[in-house]
Structure 1
Amino acid sequence: MAHAIRFHETGGPDVLRWEEVEVGAPGPGEVRIRHAAVGLNFADTYFRTGLYPAPLPAGLGVEAAGTIEAVGPGVTGFAEGDRVTYTGSPLGAYSTERVMPTGSLIKLPDAIGFETAAAMTMRGLTSAYLLRRIHPLKAGDTVLLHAAAGGVGLIVCQWAKLLGLTVIGTVSSAEKAELARAHGCDHIVYYREEDVAERVRELTGGEGVPVVFDSVGRTTFAGSLGSLARRGLLVCFGTASGPVPPIDAMQLALHGSVFVTRPALADYIADPAERAELAGELFGHVAAGRIRIEINQRYSLGDAARAHRDLEGGRTTGSSVFVL
């Protein structure tokens, strides 16, 4: 029998259950995948707590990599034995195997292992759209990156250097600062001890930065706004500390006619051609060694509750995966 992590009520990590599930045969446009590795993402906790609503009972997880074992009617472009990775709906990646629509699947080059794929597909594609789609960044620009030692942060730091950008990164500890620096972060700000906006102004000659990448949310929002240059862009792409506060439009004017966006990865990979382009650029950098994917935590799938406690407790760095 296949197994999966499921939850029947929202709440803390203890609501997660390891259950036997019946997978069945793939239907039209679907394939059955045996997972080799599953990604652990902070967004998974939003579904578990109910911040992102899901019909209950529900599976969990949106990112994994593995091998296609069976192909349903009408499927083109994929065959039994293909190595694939994915990020996206429906929920249910926390499983040993599952049936999946082909719309979210990406063929995985032989040069990239399953664990690496599970650790980077969501984070890597997020980094790709942040740096390559959301703002016309150019060599010489400086950006502020919150959670610089996180999974997305370490990829963004490396990719930013390839683009000639200067990165100011916020972290919570000396250990995380060292990790961020080792991946290309130029300047470190300890956001729990320093005034982020004041420090950014010091580092930029009083101008601020054209773009802030903020995955933390509530606790960093004010500092992020205060760090922007005139007509700068605040990219709120995560809410690890809670949702951002209500936005007062007049405050955007007072901070220099700045902009705020709350993007979702799904809207940047909805078009198959664009998804393939972003994935191709990401895979090319990783396969060539220009971007290193740090897997600093590995868990068994049945130990999902502990993994969530570590994630929410700030005890993880880089990427985390479940290994099957």
Structure 2
Amino acid sequence: MPIQATAARIHQYGAPEVLQFEDISVADPVGNEVRIRNKVIGLNFVDVYYRRGSMPVPEFPAIIGNEGAGVIEAVGPNVTSVKVGDRVVYGHPSYGAYASVRICDADHVVVIPDGISDEQAASSFLKGLTSRYLVKEIVALTPGDTVLYHAAAGGVGLMFAQWAKSIGVRLIGTVSDSKKAEAARAAGFDEIINYRTEDFVVRTLALTNGEGVKAVFDSVGKDTLEGSLATLKNRGTLAQFGIASGESRPINLLELAPRSLMVTWPSLPSFIGARTELLAAARDLFNAIQTGVLDVTATRVYSFEEVITAHHDLESRRTVGSAVLRV
């Protein structure tokens, strides 16, 4: 029978204050569904995109959020991959995480191994799987390669640095202040550029003796597009995977021709769309955590009731590393 839960819903796009706490009714799972009692909800900048309408929600009222960890309370009749009592984590496309209890497709959840906490899982699943495909599947990175990463002190950036450093990549990262520079350097970035006080194009080219970098990983978008292209070496790759500063202008393919540049917009569903792909990527992520390649400790923990404050901090880029909501 349905149970009562609490959700932070939006009835329109706008500032963080559009998030409203409301009582909801959560039905019993059917088919391949599971019912999860959330323990920790992951915070990601994509949540801001959905809240302010940069990315559309299916309908109003909407429960945003793509990532969380919790305990399975009930399973549908077709579920065989998990059972009641399992600790699980889920990510994209499991839309609707900002709730104390939620229904989720069993194909989107993964059992959390012993030795990894709910907080670690919820702070690292989406960011960890994203950093994994950036490091391992976009460009063939090899020891000695040099890359540029924007927003180096973000949750994905800090994991990217640790993973890329483990294979010997030289890392240049951009940040906005000294606190973020310290976090980025601790994660493994070799060179830090404060984009508020330095021209990142000039500095990157100086650091590479004018040659440029093999790849740029850019979640900022409009504000960095031109500079990102300018810092690439011949046959370099720009991987843009976010629009924190707004949508980039359209690129005329002919402007890439002089240096044979490549531009791609990778998205997580393309790499974990099949259940087998999700499980393989999750195993790789969990192994990296358990072997110490990745430190995924959340740097900021909010209570669920502080979700509006958390969104203000996300949007103003006051967060360093990963942040979570504890339910």
- Shorter-normalised TM range: over 0.9
Mapping 1:17-36, distance limit 5 Å:
17-36=20-39
Tell me, in whole angstroms, the C-alpha distance in 1 between the residues paired with 2:237 and 2:274: 24
Match of 1:205 in 2: 209
Match of 2:181 in 1: 177
Match of 1:44 in 2: 47
Give the partner amino acid of 1:298.
V
Tell me, in whole angstroms, the C-alpha distance in 1 between the residues paired with 2:196 and 2:255: 24
Q: 1:64 aligns with which of 49, 64, 68?
A: 68
Match of 1:238 in 2: 242
1:169 and 1:187 in contact (8 A); partners too: yes
1:164 pairs with 2:163: no
Tell me, in whole angstroms, the C-alpha distance in 2 between the residues paired with 1:21 and 1:302: 16
Greater shift in the superposed pair: 307-316 or 284-293: 284-293
Tell me, in whole angstroms, the C-alpha distance in 2 between the residues paired with 1:167 and 1:146: 11
Task: Provide the aligned C-alpha RMSD in A.
Answer: 1.0
Match of 2:131 in 1: 127
2:94 and 2:108 in contact (8 A); partners too: no
1:29 and 1:75 in contact (8 A); partners too: yes
Mapping 1:280-319, distance limit 5 Å:
280-319=283-322
What SS does the aligned partner of 2:311 have? helix
Match of 2:263 in 1: 260
Match of 2:195 in 1: 191
Aligned residues: 323
Mapping 1:95-174, distance limit 5 Å:
95-174=99-178
What SS does the aligned partner of 2:263 have? strand
Cα deviation, residue 90, structure 1 = 4.0
Q: Normalising by structure 1, what TM-score?
A: 0.97
Give the partner amino acid of 2:128.
G
Tell me, in whole angstroms, the C-alpha distance in 1 between the residues paired with 2:276 and 2:32: 18
Match of 2:274 in 1: 271
2:66 and 2:91 in contact (8 A); partners too: yes
Tell me, in whole angstroms, the C-alpha distance in 2 between the residues paired with 1:252 and 1:52: 28
1:145 and 1:167 in contact (8 A); partners too: yes
Cα deviations by residue, 1:221-277 (Å, 9 ceiling, x for unpaired) = 1111111011111000111111111212232224x1211111111111102222222
Tell me, in whole angstroms, the C-alpha distance in 2 between the residues paired with 1:211 and 1:294: 27
2:7 and 2:63 in contact (8 A); partners too: yes
What SS does the aligned partner of 1:52 have? coil
What SS does the aligned partner of 1:112 have? coil
Q: 2:255 aligns with which of 251, 255, 262?
A: 251
Match of 2:88 in 1: 84
Give the partner amino acid of 1:65.
A
Displaced runs of 4+ in structure 1, greater than 3 A? none
Give the partner amino acid of 1:52.
M
* % identical equivalent positions: 47
1:9 and 1:57 in contact (8 A); partners too: yes
Greater shift in the superposed pair: 271-280 or 35-44: 271-280
1:295 and 1:319 in contact (8 A); partners too: yes
1:195 and 1:223 in contact (8 A); partners too: no
Cα deviation, residue 73, structure 1 = 0.8
Cα deviation, residue 290, structure 1 = 2.1
Tell me, in whole angstroms, the C-alpha distance in 2 between the residues paired with 1:163 and 1:239: 28
1:145 and 1:169 in contact (8 A); partners too: yes
Cα deviation, residue 154, structure 1 = 0.5
What SS does the aligned partner of 2:114 have? coil
Cα deviation, residue 188, structure 1 = 0.6
Tell me, in whole angstroms, the C-alpha distance in 2 between the residues paired with 1:124 and 1:96: 23
1:31 and 1:70 in contact (8 A); partners too: yes
Long gaps (5+) in structure 2 = none
1:23 and 1:97 in contact (8 A); partners too: yes
Cα deviation, residue 316, structure 1 = 0.5
Tell me, in whole angstroms, the C-alpha distance in 2 between the residues paired with 1:25 and 1:276: 26
Match of 2:323 in 1: 320
Tell me, in whole angstroms, the C-alpha distance in 2 between the residues paired with 1:101 and 1:271: 13
What SS does the aligned partner of 2:104 have? strand
Q: Normalising by structure 2, what TM-score?
A: 0.96
